[in-house]
């Protein structure tokens, strides 16, 4: 599935929902490594963007998004609407990231 066929909205311009297949999700759980935590701690001394954590967060969100797309494809969807993210700290230093939305089959609207 193309990433352009996902949206936080509940419609994609030029298409209409033919079938709603239901909720799909991608879940990943990550922890910080000891070395990453030490490196990030050193970055906090200088202030600004803590790139080690930024990279970890981006990788984690991307993985959850890809898992959600795979789940949607398993159901036969060609799009996911209403995409959202949620994160929960499972324990100190361990975070669950959830990406979810509604799997749909869209068809192009003829003009």
Residue 52 lies in a domain: no
DSSP 16-80: EEEEEEEEEEEEEEEE--HHHHHHHHHHHHH-S--HHHHHHHHHHHHHHHHHHHHHHHHHT-SEE
The tokens describing 9, both together, are: 């909205």
State which residues form the domain around 96: 3-30+63-108
pLDDT above 80 (res 109): yes
Could you read off the pLDDT of 47-91 as tens digits, one per residue? 666 676 778 889 999 999 999 999 999 999 999 999 999 999 888
Angstrom distances, CA of residue 83 to CA of 8, 69, 93:
5, 10, 26
Residue 36 lies in a domain: no
Could you read off the pLDDT of 8-30 as tens digits, one per residue? 999 999 999 999 999 999 999 98
Task: Assign residue 72 the CATH number of its domain.
Answer: 3.30.110.70
* Number of domains into which the chain is organized: 1
């Amino acid at each position: 599935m193309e990433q352009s066929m996902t949206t936080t909205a509940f419609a994609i311009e030029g298409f209409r929902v033919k079938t709603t297949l239901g909720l799909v999700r991608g879940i990943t759980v990550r922890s910080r490594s000891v070395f990453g935590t030490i490196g990030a701690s050193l970055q906090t001394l200088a202030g600004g963007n803590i790139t080690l954590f930024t990279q970890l967060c981006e990788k984690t969100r991307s993985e959850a998004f890809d898992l959600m797309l795979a789940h949607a494809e398993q159901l036969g969807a060609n799009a996911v609407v209403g995409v959202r993210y949620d994160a929960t700290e499972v324990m100190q230093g361990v975070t669950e990231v959830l990406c979810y939305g509604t799997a749909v089959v869209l068809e192009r609207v003829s003009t």
